[in-house]
A = this chain, B = another copy of it.
Amino acid sequence: MKAPWQPSSPWPTVAVVGVGLIGGSVGLAAKARGVARRVIGIGRSRASLDEAVARGAVDEATTDLARGVAEADLVVVAAGVAAIPALLERADAAARPGTLLTDAGSTKGSIVAGWERRRRGRRCRFVGAHPIAGSHRKGPVAADAGLFAGRVTVVTPATRTPAHDAQQVAGFWTALGATVVAMKPAAHDRVLGATSHVPHLLAAALAAATPAKALRFTAGGWRDSTRIAAGDPGMWADILLDNATEVTLGLARVLRVARRMQRALEAGDRRTLVEILARAKERRDALGS
């Protein structure tokens, strides 16, 4: 596989399992960019499905996964990481043989390994993906046709994934506007541990450790630093648990720096403090506001 990917040509029917922020945005982007002729939304909550239809994110909606994926050429599983493996199993059992499956989970190692473990018995084809375009907002009401535009989506083919399958899935996300990068599942989890899961854990620890009566003395700093702590607790517990090893390693890296800063504080060592703060600023400035 080699970037840049050719955007894949229109898919007659795309099924989206889960019509929340990500699934709803897949539907909106697919419709807006002519990537899919027809989008079928599959979900458990009738209210969310109705909202997704009302917003034009999906053309049809059903709570019956087997029926929803039966006519699909491509199935996108956009659910919490703990639910994805079972949903892939069900899609594999119900879709037409050869149907392409992808997902949008925040972790990739266990999801891809779960699929690969029974690769020989599979009816469909699967290539994992992770659009790095979250938000603390949720539900189809937060869906946005431009959510993936200009953002990175990582696709994570396994060793035995045919190059053509990986190319097709990469092409689908590219067609939604994403900048697609291919990585091994383990590499994905290591990098996202550092850039997403550890920041979430720290934001939550900071928010939980701040006394409630101190909240009125917060300003932009605390507010920005803890924004992601407003994310869904169950969803994030599952992500952290699924990537526990990398989160533990990544957290240790951050805490090493924090302890160096603390030792510098105790020693009155301004030079070391300024050095670390300047390195942090340099890295942050590289990203823009």
Pair A251/B241 contact, Cβ less than 8 Å: no
List A residues 202-248 near B (Cβ within 8 Å).
202-212, 214-234, 236-238, 240-241, 244, 247-248
Pair A205/B270 contact, Cβ less than 8 Å: no
List A residues 187-202 near B (Cβ within 8 Å).
191-192, 194-196, 198-202
Which of A43-51, A69-77, A95-103, A130-138 lines the interface with chain B?
A130-138
The smallest beta-carbon distance between A24 and chain B, in angstroms, is 17
Bound-complex Cα distance A288 to B211 (A): 17
Partner of A255 from B228, B258, B273 at Cβ < 8 Å = B258
Partner of A209 from B234, B254, B286 at Cβ < 8 Å = B254
Q: Count copies of this chain in the complex.
A: 2
The smallest beta-carbon distance between A114 and chain B, in angstroms, is 17
Pair A223/B261 contact, Cβ less than 8 Å: no
A253 at interface, CB cutoff 8 A:
yes
Bound-complex Cα distance A76 to B229 (A): 37
List A residues 243-288 near B (Cβ within 8 Å).
244, 247-248, 250-251, 253-258, 261-262, 265-266, 268, 270, 273-274, 276-281, 283-287
List A residues 63-119 near B (Cβ within 8 Å).
none
Pair B210/A289 contact, Cβ less than 8 Å: no
Residues in chain B near residue A192, CB distance under 8 A: 217
Pair B214/A194 contact, Cβ less than 8 Å: yes
Bound-complex Cα distance A206 to B195 (A): 9
Bound-complex Cα distance A218 to B225 (A): 15
Pair A204/B274 contact, Cβ less than 8 Å: no
Interface residues of A (CB under 8 A from B): 132-136, 151-152, 154, 181, 191-192, 194-196, 198-212, 214-234, 236-238, 240-241, 244, 247-248, 250-251, 253-258, 261-262, 265-266, 268, 270, 273-274, 276-281, 283-287, 289
